[in-house]
Amino acid sequence: MDLVHIHFLLLSLLVIFSILAALNIRIIKAAILLAVVSLLTALILFLLETPLAAIFELSVCAGLITVIFISVISLTNPLTREERIEEKAKTLKRFVFLPGIVLVCAAAFYMLENSTNFIPIGASEIAVAQEGLWNSRQFDLIGQIIIILAGVFGVIVLFKDNKDDGGKK
């Protein structure tokens, strides 16, 4: 099988699974489908020669995010049976439009691209000097540190029970 075909297969699977994930009525299934989407993304990242990012995607997005989603879903009340049946009919109704929209968009983007004059270079054809991963991106690293600290405070503030704190007014 050709490399192009593998890319094509993975990308179409990506689109199909994301449609399923986005419109699935059972949130727990949607979360698992999202993990599959992450998995496919990680495979694509491997093919695009960014293996470290792929490993990160696999462990964080397919692993951690799914865990977060599933724990949130288990902490919250899912829909009751009747609500689910009612919702299912509605979902089917709105599901009808999406494939059409996707096709129209694909055609539109294809038309748009035909008017570009950009010529891509394959990564295999050019040798890049392997530079230190973070040497040029230390500023982003600082940003990551700050946002992780902010996340820690987010957990402290948002997940704590406010019996003794907040809610004073």
Partner 1 sequence: MTISLIFVPIILVILLNIPRLSGKTAYYAVLAFFIWQILSVFFPFTGSQQLAGLIGKVFTLNVYADGMSKIMIISAAIVGFVSLITSKAFSKYDSRLFSLSNLMLLSFAGINGLVFTKDIFTMYVFIEVIAAASYILISLDKKDGALEGGFKYLIISSIATVMMLFSISLFFLTAGSTGFAEISTAIRDFGGNPVILAAVMLFITGLLIKGGVIPFHSWLSGAYAEAPAGVSVFLGGIITKTVGIFALIRILYLVTGFNENIKMVLLITGALSIVIGAIMAVTQKDFKRVLAYSSISQVGYIVLALGAGTAFGVAAALFHVFNHAIFKSLLFVNSAAVEKQTGSLDVDSFGGLGYKMPVTSGTSAIAFLSAAGIPPFAGFWSKLLIILALWSAGYQGFAVLAVVASLFTMAYFLTLQKKVFFGELNPKLENVREAPLSLTACAIFLCALTIGVGLIFPYILNVFIFPAVGIM
Partner 2 sequence: MIGDTLFLFKLYLITAPILFVVGIYAIITTRNIIAMIIGIEVMMKGVTVLLAAAGYFNGKPQVVEPLIITMIVVEVVILMISAGYIINIVKKHDSLDVANINKLKG
Can you tell me which of 117, 158, 163, 165 binds partner 2, judged by CB under 8 A?
158
Instruction: Please list every residue from 37 through 66 that binds partner 2, using CB under 8 A.
Output: 37-38, 41, 44-45, 48-50, 52-53, 56-57, 60-61, 64-65
Is 38 exposed, middle or buried (CB count within 10 Å of its CB: 0-12, 13-18, 19+)?
buried
Taking the complex as a whole, the smallest distance from the CB of residue 121 to partner 2 amounts, in Å, to 5
Torsion angle defined by CA atoms of residues 119, 121, 137 and 66, in that order, rounded to the nearest 10 degrees: 100
Q: Who contacts 26 (Cβ-Cβ below 8 Å, separation ≥6)?
A: 78, 84
150 scored as a contact of partner 2 (CB under 8 A) = yes
The interface mask with partner 2, positions 105-144, x = CB under 8 A, is: xx--xx--x-----xxxxx-xx-x-xx-xx-xx--x--xx
Q: How far, in Å, CA of 96 to CA of 115, rounded?
A: 31
Number of residues that bind partner 1 (CB under 8 A): 31
154 scored as a contact of partner 2 (CB under 8 A) = yes
150 scored as a contact of partner 1 (CB under 8 A) = yes
73 near 40, Cβ under 8 Å? no
Q: Which amino acid is at 162?
A: N
112 scored as a contact of partner 1 (CB under 8 A) = yes
